[in-house]
Amino acid sequence: MYNTGLELMELANSKKCKIYEIVIENEVELQGLSREEIILKMKKALEVMKSSAQEALDKEIKSVSGLIGGDAKRFEDYRKNGNTLCGDTVVKAMARALSCSEVNAAMGRIVAAPTAGSCGILPAALITAGEKLNKTEDEIVNALFTASGIGQIIAKNATVSGAEGGCQAECGAAAAMAAAAIVEMAGGTPEMCLNAASIALKNIMGLVCDPIAGLVEAPCAKRNASGVVNALISSELALAGIKSIIPFDEVVEAMYRVGKALPEALRETALGGIAATPTGIKLRKQVLGE
Amino acid sequence: MSSLSSFDIIGPIMVGPSSSHTAGAARLGKVAMSIAGGNFKKVIFYLHGSFAKTYRGHGTDRALVAGVLGMETYDDRLKYSLDIAKEKGIEIEFVESDLGDVHPNTVKIVFYKEDGTKFEVVGSSIGGGNIIITEINGDKVEFTGDYPTLIVKQKDVKGMISSVTAILASQNINIATMRVTRRAKGKEALMIIETDAEISEYVLKVIEKVENIISAKAINPVK
């Protein structure tokens, strides 16, 4: 078992294997299931991820409250027009993240990764990077294990709950997980994976959780879209050999301390941030019928 | 959590939008239903704190009802549970209420059974789809529904714990955790035993036959 990023990296280095191998091995031991059964379980998660990343691109989906919906399709249509500023890969990833978030807000089926509120980042990042790098489904499943290893360490030593640590804990953890997973899938070393995860977490350190009306809709969907971009650029930096000056485990601890220091109004209570703006309050009254 | 699985991080597979307000609520409903047993014609949900404030937008209402109808957190029909309950002739009511000094996501579920009796379960959704059951018909309890759980009601007399644990041991069932409470000395007492293996109908029957056992119920894990 590994409790820190350093332990995970040293295990992978000493066995001369990828991070995902260590994570799968640990899971086999933990669950008392065979390696095949564990991999099959993750394949099922990937199937649900794929469908939620696609569903709202094909048709407009409205959230339960009516607050959000239709943006994933709008963005995908915009991409198809071909005049994007950021290029196809980034825009496609953003559209997929929006799709997952909209499906989630409409009570569709998703995979919490690590939470439902941040469920768009990891699927959008891995499906899009997998496409770009010509990776097989098995390789993407392996990358999901890399991601969950990073997530396990963040959950163990910090938190992945918005109520405890703000959005940085949810969308930050998701982006860190995705960044590390992309790096490993692209052939990076365990050290590069941790660098990518550190950079992603640092990029949005301090981000508050301020959902309008307390619902997992706005600004959550757009933060998933920006979260996947964070994952992509962090992996790109790490793949180029750029290091995080602060080691991963210290970044995780810093994120946790920052989360604890956030006032309660900025931790999923809908009492601060954009939720507490005049428009945010008006929408809350409208949606909750207060 | 000491042994965090990969699937605690990537998972659960669930119907959105919130792991605590939707997935957790569905699990609470399902666990409560397995404790109360079937055959109910009406259910009232007393919603506390954040559950009371945001239940419509998070679909907590639909998730709770889906749970008492036996659906899993990933069931596509969860969204339509209110209509499904209506079709089945089950009356559903939601009451926003103050349940006191409890977790913000707490619900008291009251089942009105066909035989005229009432059954009450209180539980909280504590994050990431994880839940905790805190009260059954007024008795304080504490279990998660992650493990097979044996709930035994007995008279508070000596030897009850050893007879029950001996039966479990004879059936090769290992006890993970155990908690015993009583209303008052010599009155009714409650044993909540979480085990590593599922508890069969046969084991329940054997336990129920022991003198001074009032009832025995098993809940198999609800993921």
Domain annotation covers residue B102: yes
pLDDT at B2: 47
Number of domains in chain B: 2
CA B89 to chain CA mean position, Å: 23
pLDDT digits 0-9 by tens, B78-93 = 999 999 999 999 999 9
Distance from CA of A133 to the nearest CA of B (A): 23
pLDDT at A282: 97
pLDDT level of residue A31 (50, 70, 90 thresholds): confident
CA A111, B50, B105, B29: dihedral to nearest 10 degrees? -70
> pLDDT confidence of B122, banded at 50, 70, 90?
very high
In a domain, B143, yes or no: no
Nearest CA in chain A to B127: A161
Which comes out higher in pLDDT, residue A136 or B4?
Answer: A136
Rounded (to 5) percent helix, strand, coil in chain B: 30, 35, 35
For residue B1, being part of any structural domain is answered with: no
pLDDT tens digits for range A87-124? 999 999 999 999 999 999 999 999 999 999 999 999 99
Residues B131 and B154 in one domain: no
Q: What is the pLDDT of residue B1?
A: 38
Domain boundary among B92, B113, B137: B137
Evaluate if residue A49 carries a pLDDT over 90: yes
Kindly report, residue by residue over B25-40, the tens digit of the pLDDT: 999 999 999 899 889 9
Strand blocks (E) in B71-148: 91-96, 105-113, 118-127, 130-136, 139-143
Q: Give B222's pLDDT tier (boundaries 50, 70, 90).
A: low
Q: Please list every residue in chain A whose beta carbon sits closer than 8 Å to the beta carbon of residue B74.
A: 48, 109
Can you give the CATH number for the domain in which B158 is found?
Answer: 3.30.70.260
pLDDT per residue as tens digits for the range B188-218: 999 999 999 999 999 999 999 999 999 999 9
Q: Which residues of A touch B59 (CB under 8 A)?
A: 64, 107
Task: State the Cα–Cα distance between residues B2 and B148, nearest whole angstrom.
Answer: 19
Q: Is B144 a member of any domain? A: no
For residues B85 and B188, state if they share a domain: no
- A144 reaches B (C-beta below 8 A): yes
Q: What per-residue confidence (pLDDT) applies to B184?
A: 87
| Least confident range of A124-133, A146-155, A237-246, B14-23 | B14-23
Domain region containing B175: 149-219
Q: Is the CB of B10 inside 8 Å of chain A's CB atoms?
A: yes
Q: Which residues of B touch A38 (CB under 8 A)?
A: 6
Using an 8 Å CB-CB cutoff, list chain A residues near B76. 109
CB contact under 8 A, A23 and B6: yes
From A144's Cα to the closest Cα of chain B, the distance in A is 8
Q: Give the pLDDT of residue B223.
A: 54
Q: List, for residues B142-192, the tens digit of each pLDDT value.
A: 998 888 999 999 999 999 999 999 999 999 999 999 999 888 898 999 999
Which residues is B15 bridged to in the sheet?
A: A109
Residue B161 lies in a domain: yes
Query: Which of B9, B56, B65, B124 to mutate to test binding with chain A, by most A CBs within 10 Å of its CB?
Result: B9
> A113–B9: do the CB atoms touch at under 8 Å?
yes
Domain count, chain A: 1
Cβ separation of A155 and B1 shorter than 8 Å? yes
Single-letter amino acid, residue A246: I
pLDDT at A173 over 90: yes
Instruction: Give the CATH number, domain containing residue B94.
Output: 3.30.1330.90
pLDDT greater than 90 at residue A228: yes
pLDDT above 90 as % of chain A: 93
The mean pLDDT of chain A is 96
**Which CATH number covers residue A136?**
1.10.4100
Same domain, B128 and B62: yes
Q: Which of residues 32-71 of A touch B (CB under 8 A)?
A: 38, 41-42, 44-45, 48, 63-65
Q: What are phi and psi of B143, to 5 degrees?
A: -155, 165
List of residues 6+ apart from A76 with CB closer than 8 A: A57, A92, A95, A99
Joined tokens for residue A49: 């991820």
Is B124 in the A-facing interface, judged by CB distances under 8 Å?
A: no
B17 vs A147, A215, A287: nearest CB:
A215
Average pLDDT over residues B110-136: 93
Confidence of residue B23 (pLDDT cuts 50, 70, 90): very high
Residue range(s) defining the domain that contains residue A50 = 5-288
Are residues B113 and B10 both part of a single domain? yes
Whether residue B17 is found in the same domain as residue B110: yes
A vs B, Cβ pairs < 8 A, gives 137
Q: With respect to residue B177, please indicate whether it lies within any of the assigned structural domains.
A: yes
**Percent of residues, chain B, with pLDDT higher than 90:** 77
